[in-house]
Amino acid sequence: MKNRHAMKTKEKKIFLSKLKELYPEINIGKKVKVEVAEMEKYRVIIIEDSLDFFLFDDLPVPVIPAVKKYGLKSRYVEVDEGAIKFILKGADVMLPG
């Protein structure tokens, strides 16, 4: 990780409202520490020292542990455990049929 820094208040407010719009079941307080860092290809969001989201086309996408942590029920795909390592390496996910 490089260029890790805390979000400015205005930037954090915009991010949290976008997050609430996309994932209404997430409740993150206003006083929570939110940081941004750059990885090789993506910018990531670190909430309370836990990498929870990465930005894809400026939209926050939860990482797999964050789906469980925040109890997300929408906008994710359920796969069997054996598929995870292939998906993380970039494999496509297709619907049956």
- Residue 26 falls within a domain, yes or no? yes
CA distance 23 to 33: 19
Q: What is the pLDDT along the chain (97 residues), one digit of tens a residue?
A: 789 999 999 999 999 999 999 888 888 888 999 999 998 888 999 999 999 999 988 889 898 888 888 888 765 567 788 888 888 888 887 777 6
For residue 61, which amino acid is it? V
- Residue 93 falls within a domain, yes or no? no
pLDDT of residue 49: 93
Residue ranges making up the domain that contains 30: 2-88
Quickly count: other Cβ atoms within 10 Å of residue 45's Cβ.
22
- Residue 76 falls within a domain, yes or no? yes
At a CB cut-off of 8 Å and minimum separation 6, what does 89 contact?
A: none
pTM: 0.72
pLDDT of residue 25: 86
pLDDT of residue 90: 83
Domain harbouring 44, CATH code: 3.10.450.120
User: Is the CB of residue 23 less than 8 Å from the CB of residue 62?
Assistant: yes
